[in-house]
Amino acid sequence: MTSSAPAPASATLDPANPFASPSPLPYGLPDYAAVREEHYEPAVLAGMAQQRAEVEAIATDPAPPTVANTLEALERSGRLLDRALRAFDNQLAADATPGLEDVQERLAPRLAAHADALAMDARLHARATALADAAASGDLELDADTAYLLERLLTRMRRAGVALGAAEQERLRALNARLTTLEAQFGRRLLAGANAAAVLVTDRAELDGLPEDAVAGAAAAAAARGHEGAWLLELQLPTRQGVLAYLRSRDLRERVQRASESRGADGGEHDTRAIVLETARLRAERARLLGYPHHAAYVAEDSTARTADAVEQMLARLAPAAVANARAEAGELEALLRATEGDDAELRASDWAFLSEQVRQARFALDDAALRPYLELERVLRDGVFEAARRLFGISLAERTDLVGYHPDVRVFEVFDSPEPGRPGEGLGLFLGDWYTRGSKRGGAWMNALVDQSHLLGERPVVVNNLNVVKPPAGEPTLLTWDEAITVFHEFGHALHGLLSDVRYPSQSGTAVPRDFVEYPSQVNEMWAWEPQVLRAFAVHHATGEPMPAAWVETMLASRQWGEGFATTEYLAAALLDQAWHRLAPEEVPTSVDEVVPFERAALEAAGVALAAVPPRYRTTYFNHVWGSGYAAGYYSYVWSEVLDADTGEWYRERGGLARANGEEFRRSLLARGGSQDPMTSFRELRGRDPEITPLLARRGLEA
């Protein structure tokens, strides 16, 4: 460590700390019932110290490097740190407290320094290089997954700056420490700002149009914050807020839209602009230090895209047709608006969801509010998500009410390989579901792994899905919008990637793949929500048990492309905005917070996606994916992965769709592989060729 690094902590941990030894619970589920806030920091500090000692022993081993004493030893190192940090990161995202946020800010620079110390260790690099040289000369034969593990290790160390001089490494360490602190601060400030920006309604009449269960949820949310007799419309992470599809009050819709779009840019205590600018500047400096023109180039090199230019070209190919479709949709919506508001009414972003829902009702006889009673969470899970997984992959899930999570809302399921329906076979792991929103949970939806599958360590996976569905009052059913139902399928696709992993090394488990590939399996899993036999099974009225009318199902299938102009444009605007910020050199980053919004406006105009009624899915100041999470210069990955997803949808259809043989092939060729080989090799094994973009263009109505 350098003189600027924090002082090393003791490797000794109080045996009473729940992380001091592996969890005694099934599959290594963290014992959250025993974990208290004060356990995390000492466990992480001791875990770092233990791993440093383990790595020191590897680096100074006098024996020549081997797979066992170098690669496998590195994979086995840091088990205490891994246990504590995974449990902490998961709870911080899903059930944060001020104390946990303080711990994160204290730990962030130390964790960055710890990672740097390992990645920049010249002795480790020399041992790994010796192994690579022996393999290249034919003196050492490596299994394919081990060869890929070695290749990735050397790549990570190169990209971490192992070859830099001492002064450059010192600066790189300082940059990494500061960036991790900034990312933690952004997430904390954004969560607080979102809670503060929730829209309080005191007149029940203003909520006209909002479904009754959503009104009850808003009343419960208000009461929880001390506003008895009022209603609180809590903000979701994206710009577009779900309630806007229902609210008839144009004034209230505009209030909600303004609250959403003003997050992080109000000049108050929750303003994120200074964090954004410093983060962008430091990332650009780090990229230059490592030999890249900008951060986007640094990120793309280690992805399946390979270059930032390839990303730019793909987004540029999609943008013109998407914007043309969005303008056509806007024309229809504005005509509808003027029919009720007068000939001089102009379409606002806050009008879009409401008017689009009117068009859907008129053109397709679909009312999203009418669909909700047929989309009850429990049924969507049991007869939709879990049943599709059983048919495809031969797995079953059984709830374990004897096991608890990190919050009372968390449910725990054991996952089995099931050779026959209703007959559980071998236990695969655990799945935790945490579907409800709360003030302590960050926005959006995501999957975490609490334990990675690994044959080397003899561990089976424990994975978590988090959503942000409004929790109904006690005893009431949880009714979903169609978008929320799709999200349940999407996130379980990530869970399947972790649960069905079948690899030797923990660092190659499950979703340990490039950012622009990780969304691919989850997007594939969305297709089963649209599969008629699956849809008919879970789309059942929660009270009467009646199936959704067949005509509605057919109409839903027929209406899939309505609104794709808006959806594609808002997404591309965010992806292009992400690229614009991260293609800057350090000296090109704005220096004043007053320049953030003008920079955003200019970037959107230059990309041809500046539509007032179609704001980016995330504006700069609340774009948590890129300023507080791991998607910096990588938000494009959703549509990049969708190219693979749409092509795979064609593969399934060509082979008969929802069939056990197809699922087994997808599982064997792709899900089980995790990151044990180049992910595009996995795709080619499945598809027999490189991906084609045509299926995506057809799906989104972008052939023109």
Annotation says 420 is catalytic: no
- Cα separation, 517 vs 502, in Å, equals 18
- Cα separation, 111 vs 48, in Å, equals 8
Q: Residue 537 in contact with residue 387, Cβ under 8 Å?
A: yes
| 129: amino acid identity, one letter | T
- Cα separation, 416 vs 245, in Å, equals 39
Q: Residue 576 in contact with residue 317, Cβ under 8 Å?
A: no
Q: Residue 297 in contact with residue 303, Cβ under 8 Å?
A: no
- Cα separation, 363 vs 30, in Å, equals 50
DSSP per-residue codes, 76-117: HS-HHHHHHHHHHHHHHHHS--HHHHHHHHHHHHHHHHHHHH
Answer positive or negative: Cα dihedral of 686, 691, 692, 696: positive
Q: Residue 451 in contact with residue 494, Cβ under 8 Å?
A: no
What is residue 185's three-state secondary structure?
A: helix
* Widest Cα–Cα separation across the chain: 83
- Cα separation, 437 vs 316, in Å, equals 35
Closest to 259 (Cα-Cα) out of 596, 583, 639, 622: 622
Q: Residue 34 in contact with residue 83, Cβ under 8 Å?
A: no
- Cα separation, 210 vs 189, in Å, equals 30
What is residue 310's three-state secondary structure?
A: helix
Tokens matching residue 140: 């050492």
Q: Residue 25 in contact with residue 451, Cβ under 8 Å?
A: no
- 387, 414, 491, 526: the catalytic one is 491
Phi-psi label, residue 608: left if phi above 0, alpha if psi -120 to 50, beta otherwise:
left
Instruction: Give the C-alpha distances (Å, rounded to integers) separating 138 from 71, 149, 240, 672.
Output: 18, 18, 57, 29
DSSP per-residue codes, 52-78: HHHHHHHHT--SPP-IIIIIIHHHHS-
The b-or-e profile of 439-459 (16+ CB within 10 A means b, else e) is ebbbbbbbbbbbbbbbeebeb
- Cα separation, 103 vs 581, in Å, equals 29
Q: Residue 19 in contact with residue 87, Cβ under 8 Å?
A: yes
Closest to 564 (Cα-Cα) out of 681, 658, 701: 701
Closest to 308 (Cα-Cα) out of 296, 320, 319: 296
Q: Residue 201 in contact with residue 218, Cβ under 8 Å?
A: yes
Strand duo 411-417 + 427-436: pairing = antiparallel
**Burial class of residue 293, CB neighbours in 10 A (0-12, 13-18, 19+):** middle
Q: Which residues are catalytic?
A: 491
